[in-house]
Amino acid sequence: MQLSENAQTVLERRYLAKENNEIVETPEDMLRRVAKNIAQLEEDPIWEERFFEVMDNLEFLPNSPTLMNAGRHLQQLSACFVLPIEDSMEGIFDTLKNTALIQKSGGGTGFSFSRLRPNADVVSTTGGVASGPVSFMKAYNATTDAIKQGGTRRGANMGILRVDHPDILHFIQCKADTNEITNFNISVGLTEKFMQAAFAGENYDLINPRSQEVVGQLNAQEVFELIVEMAWKNGEPGIIFLDRINRANPTPHVGEIEATNPCGEQPLLPNESCNLGSINLAKMARLEGDKWTVNWDRLQEVVEIGVRFLDNVIEVNDYPISAIRDMTYANRKIGLGVMGFADLLMRLGVPYNSDEGVELGREIMRFIQTKGHDASSQLAEERGSFPNWEGSIFEKSGRPMRNATVTTIAPTGTISIIAGCSSGIEPVFALAFTRNVLDNDQLIEVNAQFEAILKEEGLYSPELIKMVAQAGNVQDIAAIPAELRRVFVTAYETSPEWHIRMQAAFQEFTDNAVSKTVNFPKEATKEDIRHVYELAYELGCKGVTVYRAGSREGEVLTVGHKKPESEEAAASETARPTPRRRPRVTTGQTVRVKTGCGTLYVTINADEQGICEVFTTIGKAGGCAGSFSEATARIISLALRSGVEAKQVVKQLKGIRCPHPIWQDGKQILSCPDAIAHVLEEYLQSNGMAEAAATRETVARVNSNPFTGSTCPECSGTMVEESGCATCLECGFSRCS
């Protein structure tokens, strides 16, 4: 495997097997483990080698749980699950228990809360009233908070509510506070009836799911405007088109699709799972003479291998719940998708935001869909069709099929880092960006295709790359010819209309759905959001997610794009530094101080640039004094890593008084903040640090960073919003998986 430094880091953090916290396998060992495990059903040993080869060449990679767990004790290989929530206390908490089991094993879960009776509805068994879907979402959210998925993946959920549920207004606004329901993506399930009423400005019915009675009406246009407003404010809710999804349901005789997985690309029946894998299109280019073209022959080979691989996963998978195993076996859904599409376009010299780019996307996905269905049909001849084939859409055509669905366009945040390619079908987020490394040096990460093309054209230089990293794009860099600037477009240079047109082109030939984020600049209006939602409906998308730069404060970092002159002026007057990365290794000391609230332990850590963090401990965990001292320490650490001088922190804290001052070593300790100030002051005096110089260096560095916002909570790296989820470009951390 030809791995970048980031890819190696991601593998070591999340994928490679460990014993006693020590890595005990190489990346090649991991692929051998996976290939052997998935090929155990095969009589011909050649399949193990073929599975290994496509992964080792980085031409195909399965979803993360398969890479992590295949051939190990967990053996839970699926990423996507949808669970039913019945309208009873027993049903709600049975599903909650199953959710915990799935997330413990590394899966993400989707739910429709639409069956639950609305808030204040009658509960006949107790004589009380119901609390409604949103209250139970909060209970599910708290459970996810308490679970760390297998030590490698965070819990993630999708919550969906039908637009005709009486609690829909509460649901649409339930994430107005971004600190609430943090482990859920939410989407409103829109119906054809609602969309027609919205376009006509008419009212539509609200239906109580308990009684199926009409209990009120809302103006569809006003509800649609509220969805738009909330999406403009913080990117949620997304929308899915339920009727359109169910028209494509391959097994309507089995049940109705109510929900999707956390990133929205996999609609599933209740108690159904799906395993995913992605073809790296960046590897599907070949040079014919002096022209780059798509290697259709190799693409077909990888499609056929990928379909067989994913079908095998169904058999060797260890399902956390028997009902999910039974439903998965009955329909055998797989989701073969792509990554590296933007890289392929660059290599072929085709702009993402062009008719040529959209048509190429449509042609590639038509090819993958056709060859994928052929491969599934051939497997059916060899192994038999999926059990629910009778009554399915395939029975009507008389075509045997091993899998009820074959294709899905999934987000590929982490596996695309491993493969060294762009994510899913997203445009490139950044051609180059700067990150800080352990020795306080700066390392510029460059898109591999972009770098290779510059070198081939004789344009590459370290100075040019630095200019691109600082600018965030190439559009104003005269050293790059205009024809190349047209090809080297990034996500925020791609208008929302092109995002949607590309999504629709891939959706046309995708069995399941397409995970994609439509990126908007900060100055985008609500009308811009509404237009994209309407366009997604008109062009045949099954759902859409939007993100306006800077709208989710403290969560996502974005590449700098042009701002209105008023904003530019304000930014020049007042710098807004972001925290530098927390170093991996620090040195420090812990001081014990008596306070009126008890004994306080203050730890001060530093690196070559000065103090970078403060920790405090007082009393028992969960106590009020402990909470306040921890909060104070966190804010101090954030300030220090953002360039604030430690002596200024001392100045602000020193002298704060609480009702119980105390004397220690001849000094009066007025409060816990005052105690922290004394310890900091003594540390500065004894260590003689050049805090001012370190501060100036830090401020200069963070202000030159073209990304603005917060940092990855795990590695302090760069977070971007792609495929419906915030993902770290450096360590692969994802808000959704």
Q: Which residues are catalytic?
A: 261, 263, 265
Phi, psi (degrees; rounded to nearest 5) at 74: -70, -50
Q: Which tokens sit at 259? A: 């929900």
**CA gyration radius, the chain:** 27
Q: DSSP character for 734?
A: B
Residue where the block lists tokens 């799972």: 273
Q: Which tokens sit at 110? A: 């989707």
Q: Which tokens sit at 668? A: 């009066």
Question: DSSP E strands: which ranges in 475-574?
Answer: 517-520, 543-548, 558-559
* β partners of residue 737: none
Q: Please tell me the distance from the alpha carbon of residue 352 to that of residue 186, in angstroms, as a whole number.
A: 28
Distance of CA 605 to the CA centre of its chain: 32
Helix (H, G, I), strand (E, B) or coil at 545: strand
Q: Please tell me the distance from the alpha carbon of residue 258 to that of residue 503, in angstroms, as a whole number.
A: 22
Q: Cα(first)–Cα(last) distance of the chain, in Å?
A: 24
Kindly give, in sequence order, each residue whose CB lies less than 8 Å from that of residue 736, ignoring residues fewer than 6 positions away: 108, 156, 185, 262, 263, 411, 724, 725, 726, 727
Contact 86, 115 (CB under 8 A): yes
Contact 504, 357 (CB under 8 A): no
Q: Please tell me the distance from the alpha carbon of residue 525 to that of residue 527, in angstroms, as a whole number.
A: 5
Q: Please tell me the distance from the alpha carbon of residue 356 to that of residue 342, in angstroms, as a whole number.
A: 13
Q: Please tell me the distance from the alpha carbon of residue 542 to that of residue 182, in angstroms, as a whole number.
A: 24
Q: Which tokens sit at 29? A: 């060992």
Task: Assess whether the previous peptide bond of 237 is cis (omega < 30° from 0).
Answer: yes
Nearest CA to 159 among 310, 46, 21, 260?
Answer: 260
Q: Please tell me the distance from the alpha carbon of residue 730 to that of residue 604, in angstroms, as a whole number.
A: 27
Helix (H, G, I), strand (E, B) or coil at 80: strand
Q: Please tell me the distance from the alpha carbon of residue 13 to that of residue 23, in angstroms, as a whole number.
A: 9
Contact 571, 563 (CB under 8 A): yes
Nearest CA to 242 among 253, 258, 254?
Answer: 258
Nearest CA to 120 among 166, 180, 175?
Answer: 166
* β partners of residue 664: 667
Helix (H, G, I), strand (E, B) or coil at 365: helix
Task: Assess whether the previous peptide bond of 481 is cis (omega < 30° from 0).
Answer: no
Residue 83 burial class via C-beta count within 10 angstroms: exposed 0-12, middle 13-18, buried 19 and up: buried
Residue 733 burial class via C-beta count within 10 angstroms: exposed 0-12, middle 13-18, buried 19 and up: buried
Q: Please tell me the distance from the alpha carbon of residue 36 to that of residue 341, in angstroms, as a whole number.
A: 29
Residue 688 backbone class (left: φ over 0; alpha: ψ -120 to 50; beta: rest): left
Q: Please tell me the distance from the alpha carbon of residue 154 to that of residue 145, in angstroms, as a whole number.
A: 9
Q: Please tell me the distance from the alpha carbon of residue 257 to that of residue 33, in angstroms, as a whole number.
A: 35
Dihedral sign for Cα 196, 200, 201, 207, please. negative
* β partners of residue 721: 726
Contact 167, 133 (CB under 8 A): yes
